[in-house]
Structures are given as structure tokens and as C-alpha cells.
Chain A
Amino acid sequence: MSERVSWVPEGVDVGRPSAARLYDYLLGGGHNFAADRALAEKFLQAQPNARTIARLNRAFLRRAVLLMIDEGIRQFLDLGSGIPTVGNVHEIARKADPEAHVVYVDFEEVAVAHSQLILEGDPRATIIQEDMTRPDAVLRSARHSGLIDFSQPVGVLTAGVFHFVPPQADPNSIVAAYRDAVPTGSYLAVSQFTQDLQPEEMAGIVEVMKKSQNPMYPRTKSEIEALFSGFELLEPGIVPTPLWRPEGTNTDDPDRAGIYAAVGRKL
């Protein structure tokens, strides 16, 4: 299946897998290419529970957005939003309040173009093409979009994103820059891969992703806690995704969830 797919336009390098399309595939989406699926197969070998992990992460994002909606948040900044797939933030938020504003941020060309396609003609949601590790540029564009009022609390979402940020990019200072741009009462949601759960499988994933354009950096619970400096962590703190405020009875094994999730409120 590695031959050129006929419906892909000339000039697009579908031979280089992307994390966004890998995630889409794991979630059952069709917005992906052979190279993405080949990488996904390797990913699945290293972590057979990957589909579940993706599903649980996506479900955490949904619950986090809904929690923020309950807390009165009506504007969201979704950092590293990736390929629009099932249950996008604006869809979830609009179900609760059609007036909710969402600004998606991604850097990858195809993800951005795809998002634009989905959001065309939508006055309350947009995608800006920026690197989320450059908060100044992101915040400038977000202000420019006119969709986010930075004097009002903002829901900042980073679901399955920070594990693509290398330590040398200083994740703590990146979060701090966003934190400083939003008022007290704003929320931050973080989910990211950890080696605390299934360290062997995690090491396998790191190895698989090393060769892609999106190498991964799992973090320990205390490293993730450091991201929440200046935030008050909401109950139950930093936990595997299925344990974060689950809906109804939980049947998923938290030890095999791969990803820690947490939501904090800016002090």
C-alpha cells in the first residue's frame, strides 16, 4: 500500500507521516495516507492499546471542554488541534452554547487547510497557522482573529500536544506565556504521554516516533505538574485519562491508558 495514491494532488509529500494523521487513523478517521497508516501499524506493535489510548484522550478533551463550559468558559484556544476529526472542540462547545468561540492553532499545512475547510463561513471559529511553542506569535494572531477577548477567562486546551514539545523548547515557559496572557479564572487542560504507565511500551513508542517528523517526549507526573505552575489543579489531579472525571462506570484499564490528563484553573 505504499504506492502513490491516485487522488493525492501532485507536490504533496504523503510519504512523510504526520502525528496528526496518525491520530486520525487511530481514531478511525480516513484523513490519512499509507505512510501514516504504516507508522500507525508500528505504533500499534509497540503499544497494542493505541486505539483505546487515542479514544480515551479524545474523550478526555470532550469532558474537559464540557467542564470548562460548566464553569462559564465561552472561548477556547485549542493548541496543536491537528486534523479535524470526530468531536472537535467547537462542536462539543456549541452543543452547550452556540455562541462559544474557538480558535484552533496548528502549524502543519494540511491540518490547517483541512481545518479551514471545515470552518469555512463559521464566524465564531477559526484556525491560525502558528507554532504553539511560540506563544507570542500565537497570542498575537489569536488577538488579531478577534474571536478571543483576553480580558475574559479563556479555556486553553493542549490535548496530546506537549509530548511533541522537546525539553529544550522549555514547555514550562511556553505554558507560562499562555498563562500570563489570560485572566484569573481561565482554564488549562493538558494531556500527554507518560513513561509512568507501561514504561516498556512507552519506550517502544518513543523509538517508533523517533524517525517521524514528530518525535515524542513522554513526561513524568511531576514534570507535568510543573506545567501547572500558577494554576490550581482540579480534582482528581494528574491521572490516567479514564480516571479524569469519568462518565458513568469506567471499564477502561487506567494502567494501559498511556496518557496523563489534568485540568487546572488559573489562580
Chain B
Amino acid sequence: MRFSRRSFVSGTAASAALVILPIPVAALDLSDDVAVHIDDILDGRDPREGGIELDAPAVAENGAQVPLTIRVDSPMSEDDHVTAIHIIATANPAPGIGSFHLTPHLTRAEVFTRIRLAEEQEYLVIAELSDGSVLQAAARTAVTQGGCVT
């Protein structure tokens, strides 16, 4: 049986609708510059794994525009809310993707944006909470056409 490129691409697009499974951050092999970038965010704090749901394609056709929804389990109350969410690439020319700043005026700790992935890779999300604790999660997205990080 032969597959044309077109049928392969449409097939991968259909499978891309799935929520990707989280990867333990401890399982990642991080380069020095990524590790330094993460350490700067953590500032000595010890992150807990989980509490973060990442919704992104398992396969992105265009690495320059990868949709990413981040949901952190938080009541977003004055006393208990997410204050920041950082996104970090592990195989881009630079690790920083961006940082959200949240307030209790938000009804939920759910944000959507689009990110650049130069190639297939894992990316990390670190959430800072108002009580000073930190959560982390990672996911992997394959890229059909690399996001030219112009």
C-alpha cells in the first residue's frame, strides 16, 4: 500500500487534535543553556511535577505557529492563584519562548498562544503560584516543517 504525501499530511493533521501526554521533566536531557534558563526562573525553588495540562498538537505541520493551551489547576482566588507561567524550549536557538503574568482578575489559569518550535522537541511549562510554590510539566511536539526562528 502506498501513501501519497497529501494523505500522510492530512492523516497527521487528524491525529494532531489529541491532547498530548505529559512527559516527566526529570526524564528530559537538558542542555546547559536550557538548564540555566530554568534555574533563573526557579530561583532555588523545588518544582512539583503536574497540576498543569498542556493542549498542543502531537504533530505540528508548521513549527512557526504551534498552538498551545496551558491550564493550571488553580481556583484563581485572591489567596490562591497562579502568578506566572513560563514556556521554555529545549531545542530552539534560544530557550525562552515567553512568560505569562496572571492575576486573580482571571477566572481561570487557562491561556492560549502560539509558539515557535525550530524542530521536534520537548518544551517545559513552569507555573509560579501565589504561595511561592512552583509547578512544572513538559510535552513533546513533532514538527513537519521547522519553525524558522527568523
**A, B co-complexed:** no
A contacts, CB < 8 Å to B: none
